[in-house]
Structure 1
Amino acid sequence: MSKRLPVSISDILKAHSRVKQNVHHTPVVTNSTFDDRFGRKFYFKCENLQKTGSFKARGALNAVTKLCEEDKTVSGVVTHSSGNHGQALAWAAKTMGLKCAVIAPNNSPAVKLEAIKGYGADVVLCEPTPTARQQTCDKVSKERGYYFVPPYDHYDVIAGQGTMAVEFLEQVPQLDAILVPTSGGGMVSGIAIAGKSIKPDLKVFIVEPQGKDVERCLQAGDRLWPNPPRFLNTIADGIRLQQLGHITWPIILELVEKQVFSVTNDEIIEGMKFAFERMKLVVEAASGAGIAAAMSDKMCNLDDNIKHVGVILCGGNTDIHHLPWYQ
């Protein structure tokens, strides 16, 4: 790593110590049928089995715990989220005895909104645009005096997500690459910092829904996305944000591979179906995107020296009454 990054491996190891008593050490599963079909050895990190049903519990708990260590007067936290970060922050706040409010788009999956409420947080609905989410969040934060914990653009959130890579490389030290479904970039930033600090030759690849256009931006070294920020038309609601974050972008530009795996809705569905049918795992569409990338022609065409590939199953919060292949 040639540049000094704002989050270090030391920050991530401290985060690991901070959260490990309250989050699951998630399992890694393999599938010989998948390996035989796609010609490499794949390892699936089951963050769908994490507290609150997604990896987001790691970053949220690290941020809230550290906030409570540094500010004994904090009374509550607020965020905007399509579901998973909202659930995670609500759970983390409850764990630490804080109040919580979550601003969510009015088209968020009902299963995620009910889970947020189940952890004791208030849900405030807004129009389904990134701008409306942030404006409503700012308003609630000011009115209630709550501390804003962003879904991805936050150093402590990034450090918490990086604990995943610490675990993964302890479980599978021979990993050559990791495929990471990506929205704003908090998870892939944390994984890249930790992973490449522990194993410098590790390759970290972004997986995106079609239309995110990260590869063009990375290869140009510039944020080429149109403004204002928008959501993509994808069944993977957890990774529908088009732009990477402003804090995560330079980390990703520095550490993550310039080649990006872009997947369609149909490919995501095939990835989900494989997890359900062959691995017996309930995963949401964002996890299906990671599996789809592992199935793709682009994976088949990667360097043959990449023999051991990790896939982050980032969440399992799917509405079983509205599975995408029945819509």
Structure 2
Amino acid sequence: MGTQRQVYFGDVTEACQRISGFIHRTPIFTNSTIDGLTGRNIYFKAENLQKTGSFKVRGAINSVLKLKEKDRAVVGVTTHSSGNHGQALACAARSVRFPCSIVVPSYTSAVKKAAIKGYGAELTECGPLASDRRETCEKVALEKNYEIIPSSDHYDVIAGQGTIAMEFLEQVPDLDAILVSVSGGGMISGIAIAAKHIKPGIKVFAVEPEGKILEKCLTSGERLWPNPPQYLDTIAEGIKLQQVGHLTWPILLELVEKEVFTVNNEEIKVGMQFVFQRMKLVVEAASGAAVAAVLSEQFKTLDSSIKNVGVILCGGNVDIDHLPWY
């Protein structure tokens, strides 16, 4: 079943106090069309309007501020990322004057690479495999004596992402459920810890691209993914990772619903387009996945007592020259 979780609500409330001066309190949007289509009240938490264009800055800033609080000298920080966590860590490092080196796969969009450099971080490119990213990042950390801050599988990152749920439930206290797109599981872990503490009856649902087999793993209570870790064939580059992390796994197992929403590329495109056209917001494909889940046939089968549903628009870092429907 894996190790016991080591992040609790107190860690999230501490993170909230720690990062409040460094992040935006993101707004909530509603849309009467989607309410009509679903027969429920849908509330969108716009983390696409967060600093650096995604929720990732919450966990990154919490992690670097905690490092700074410790009384040993931190030389610098590094990570590997397809883009959003890289931007977030680069921004977080700049705000506390830590040197920062970000490892990105060669396929990362020019827009995200430029943003990372814009925050003053050094950029190192690597091959396309999960192992390429990990090995290059470990090499950078060794050579420079930098601290590695993973994108999701890190307790301070998880606590930082949990602040989303604290805000959301202050803004919409009557939420019955929250839908969250999942990659490594840092965001959904933090959200589940905070939301379940504040409102024990709330349901937290994972949304995944095809091929992640998260529901099968959660139902069996076992990590059924093949090794080494693989990337999925999805347009949602922010949620390409097939496996969830080893630290996030026991949290998902304990707190997240076993029923998972699985969406394909065409559905993700429709979700993105809905938000672009009807809500006038720029969102990336990982956000589109959560919207696609709400528009799915599966969503209609949810218990009728689930009236008020929160959806995390997790990021808006989309390459506008390469929108997936062109």
Global fold match (TM > 0.5): yes
Partner SS state of residue 104, structure 1: strand
Partner SS state of residue 114, structure 1: helix
Equivalent residue, structure 1, for 2:146 = 146
Mapped partners of 2:71, 2:221: distance in 1: 38
Mapped partners of 1:16, 1:293: distance in 2: 28
Give the aligned residue type for 2:6: P
Mapped partners of 1:60, 1:106: distance in 2: 22
Matches within 5 A, 1:157-236: 157-236=157-236
Deviations 1:267-302 (A, max 9, x none): 000000010000000000000000000101111000
Give the aligned residue type for 1:186: G
Matches within 5 A, 1:32-47: 32-47=32-47
Matches within 5 A, 1:250-289: 250-289=250-289
Equivalent residue, structure 2, for 1:98 = 98
Equivalent residue, structure 2, for 1:302 = 302
Mapped partners of 2:220, 2:174: distance in 1: 31
Following TM superposition, the consecutive aligned residue runs of length 4 or more in structure 1 with deviations greater than 3 angstroms are none
Equivalent residue, structure 1, for 2:316 = 316
Mapped partners of 2:71, 2:257: distance in 1: 38
Mapped partners of 1:205, 1:37: distance in 2: 20
Most deviating of 69-78 and 25-34: 69-78
Pairwise CA RMSD of aligned residues? 0.9
Partner SS state of residue 312, structure 1: strand
Most deviating of 287-296 and 106-115: 106-115
Mapped partners of 2:103, 2:130: distance in 1: 11
Give the aligned residue type for 1:59: G
Equivalent residue, structure 1, for 2:29 = 29
Give the aligned residue type for 1:225: W
Mapped partners of 1:59, 1:156: distance in 2: 6
Deviations 1:104-161 (A, max 9, x none): 1111122111111110111111111111111111000000010000001100000000
CA positional deviation for 1:4: 6.6
Mapped partners of 1:149, 1:41: distance in 2: 37
Give the aligned residue type for 2:154: H
Mapped partners of 1:294, 1:202: distance in 2: 17
Matches within 5 A, 1:128-139: 128-139=128-139
CA positional deviation for 1:5: 3.2
- 8 Å contact from structure 2 (residues 5, 247) kept in 1: no
The runs of 5 or more residues in structure 2 that have no matched partner are none
Partner SS state of residue 201, structure 1: coil
Mapped partners of 2:240, 2:210: distance in 1: 10
Mapped partners of 1:276, 1:4: distance in 2: 40
Equivalent residue, structure 2, for 1:9 = 9
Deviations 1:204-246 (A, max 9, x none): 0000011111000000100000010010000000000000000
Give the aligned residue type for 1:43: Y
Mapped partners of 2:113, 2:321: distance in 1: 15
Mapped partners of 2:51, 2:302: distance in 1: 33
Deviations 1:70-112 (A, max 9, x none): 1441121000000000000000000000010111111112211
Mapped partners of 1:78, 1:186: distance in 2: 18
Mapped partners of 1:298, 1:113: distance in 2: 37
Equivalent residue, structure 2, for 1:242 = 242
Give the aligned residue type for 1:239: I
Matches within 5 A, 1:116-131: 116-131=116-131
Give the aligned residue type for 2:309: V
Number of residue equivalences? 324
Identical-pair percentage:
62
- 8 Å contact from structure 2 (residues 176, 307) kept in 1: yes
TM-score, length basis structure 1: 0.98
Give the aligned residue type for 2:117: K
The runs of 5 or more residues in structure 1 that have no matched partner are none
Deviations 1:176-212 (A, max 9, x none): 0000001000000000000000000010000001111
Give the aligned residue type for 2:82: S
Mapped partners of 2:113, 2:293: distance in 1: 28
Partner SS state of residue 317, structure 1: coil
